[in-house]
Every structure is written in C-alpha cells, then in structure tokens.
Amino acid sequence: MNDNSGKLSVLLVEDNEDDVLIARRAFKEFKFISAVHIARDGQEALDLLSAPGGGGKPLRPSLILLDITLPLMDGISLLKRLKADPALRAIPVVMLTTSSRHEDILRSYENGAASYITKPSSLEDFLELARRFEQYWVSVSKLPL
C-alpha cells in the first residue's frame, strides 16, 4: 500500500539471490520504495498475501514484481491465482523476468499482468530501469491501493 509520502510497498517474487540483491540496491538508491518484501517462490508469495506466518494481517503491497521461472509454483500460475482472488486482483502485477519469449509475454497479459519487463543484465541497466519504474509507478500512474 502507498504510505502518506507517496512511496510504494513492493512484493518481489524472485528466487535468484543476485537479482534480489540488485533490486534491493536499486530501490534503496531511489528511495521510492517504503518496504520490499521478498518471496522465493509462488507459494511463499501466496502465504504472505493470505497471512504472514499463518496468522496476523495479510500483506497488501502497492505492487507485485513477479518472475516467471520459480520453484513450487511458477509466475504465470501465481498470476492466475492472484487475479482470481477478489481480495488480491486489484494489486498491479509487473512481470520482471529474463524471458523475452512472445508466448510468455502473451500469457502474462492474458492473465492480468499490468506490465512485462525483461530483467536487465547489469546493475547499471537495472538502476536505469528503476529510474523509469519510479517515474511511471510513483509520478505518473495512480494505484488502486
């Protein structure tokens, strides 16, 4: 959820530790993210969104950044589950993945993805992506949460 400062809370669903570290560094540098929650697979993401640790308040991030290739439950399957759940379907899901396959792009949009981004390969390119991401999702776009 957006906090009063206009910052975003993000759930990053990513199993690659290097990509997690790069994303955290980029988001920290630009300071438009109030919190980054990490899930290493689709099932862990669902658990966080239903109730962290099996109890307590469910996580409601401003955005979900979702990789396609994940253990236990792949990103497309998770996307389908998110968009089928009335409590979660309004959360924008941005696919952030290494795949540039047309089939993956098409399946993502067919199942409700708000955007599809191919992961940059270097930290410098990821920082540039973060700049653009901030401009769009913080300055231009209006989020439902």
Give exposure, 92-119, as e/b (b: 16+ Cβ within 10 Å): bbbbbbebeeeebbebbeebebbbbeeb
Fold of 8-137: Rossmann fold (3.40.50)
Residues with Cβ within 8 Å of residue 130, at least 6 apart in sequence: 26, 27, 29, 30
Summarize pLDDT for 99-126 with one digit per residue, the tens. 999 999 999 999 999 999 998 878 888 8
Measured from the Cβ of residue 14, the count of other Cβ atoms closer than 10 Å reads: 25
Summarize pLDDT for 82-105 with one digit per residue, the tens. 999 999 999 999 999 999 999 999
Summarize pLDDT for 2-51 with one digit per residue, the tens. 444 567 889 999 999 988 988 888 777 777 777 889 999 999 999 999 87
Query: pTM here?
Result: 0.87
Residues with Cβ within 8 Å of residue 68, at least 6 apart in sequence: 74, 75, 76, 95, 97, 99, 104, 108
Please tell me whether residue 138 adopts helix, strand or coil conformation: helix
Residue 1 pLDDT class (50, 70, 90 cuts) = very low
pLDDT score at 125: 87
| Domain boundaries along the sequence of the chain | 8-137
CA distance 131 to 145: 22
